[in-house]
Structure 1
């Protein structure tokens, strides 16, 4: 029996111009804290330099790219490392929960409250139109913020230990999302965003 699975299914969050789904606890065969420690230990973390508005900056977090395809964003092409056995287990659980298929994952390691993610949309050409992005979080909770591109609408979600968030439909066309730096102390957090990279782009 899986002692750590939550019986809550993926639930839609009402939102204009897109689809958003949330599950409090993704069903996995280990506790979130154990999974996070294994991800910390097993991942070859990189501190990347990326281009933003024509200028080079060090990303305010550590990253790793795994899967079956290369991916280009922020002016840089990321070549994948193979999926690890743990990543494959998480991917299988995500695919079972969402009914979607994914061939790549971006891992982000937020070391403390000073690490962040700038506002952006996952709308690169190789993701195709209306991509599905599945996000799984481990560790200290952080506030995930979505802002509509045209309308004065903002949505804030607390992403806690072991939760699953699915963005789909036209959401990447109409919304941007990010995670701000915070003033209060926060422990480390790892986020995995699973994507389906299409060939021919």
Structure 2
């Protein structure tokens, strides 16, 4: 289902995976991925990222943001399988995946855009959610337009076109959620 928004190309599939497929993949990834808590620099000060993450991709793939440089770990079988399924429906090829583990509602990601030069002029980000439903928020950088999309377990949100240049997005903190969530964001690093 396409979501209409200024300067954005958003496609949301709330039932990309069945409940049982999503649960099985969540359990496997939670126990098998090499989760770590990195630090980034904010206003010149090192702070712990408020979530766990893991970077997977093609050999030698690197990704850098907020002073953090990550080198991709080799793809796992589960990531390769879900990547192929996402590539089949999007028509896009991805060479890396940033996995985030939000341990509960206090883990978050602040307002940002995935607009690093190594993602290209119009990056496609395919975001698969597993586990607890969380509200994903977007706000246009110059207009007052805002969107909230509840990302349920097994849902796929694809952001393409001018989305990363015209919009910011975040996953806000919430005190009411106690269950974990995994988000897989598939990307193509250029060069």
Same fold (TM over 0.5): yes
Q: Which runs of 4+ in 1 moved over 4 A?
A: none
Aligned ranges 1:37-56 → 2 under 5 Å: 37-56=27-46
Q: CA deviation at 1:155?
A: 0.3
2:115 aligned to 113, 119, 123, which one?
A: 123
Q: Contact 1:109/1:188 (CA < 8 Å) preserved in 2?
A: yes
SS in structure 2 at match of 1:32: helix
- State the distance in 2 between where 1:63 and 1:139 align: 15
2:147 aligned to 144, 150, 155, which one?
A: 155
- State the distance in 1 between where 2:145 and 2:28 align: 38
2:57 aligned to 48, 64, 67, which one?
A: 67
Q: CA deviation at 1:52?
A: 2.0
1:33 aligned to 23, 26, 30, which one?
A: 23
Q: CA deviation at 1:27?
A: 4.4
Normalising by structure 2, what TM-score? Answer: 0.96
RMSD: 1.3
Normalising by structure 1, what TM-score? Answer: 0.91
SS in structure 1 at match of 2:184: strand
What residue in structure 2 maps to residue 7 of structure 1? none
> Could you report, residue by residue, the CA deviation over 1:131-185 in whole angstroms, capped at 9, with x for unpaired residues?
0000000000000000111111110000000000000000100100001110213
- State the distance in 1 between where 2:44 and 2:146 align: 27
What residue in structure 1 maps to residue 72 of structure 2? 80
Q: Contact 2:12/2:157 (CA < 8 Å) preserved in 1?
A: yes
Q: CA deviation at 1:189?
A: 0.2
- State the distance in 1 between where 2:177 and 2:10 align: 28
2:105 aligned to 90, 106, 113, which one?
A: 113
Please say which of residues 178-187 and 100-109 is displaced more in the overlay.
Answer: 178-187
Q: Contact 1:27/1:93 (CA < 8 Å) preserved in 2?
A: no
What residue in structure 2 maps to residue 190 of structure 1? 182
- State the distance in 2 between where 1:172 and 1:152 align: 16
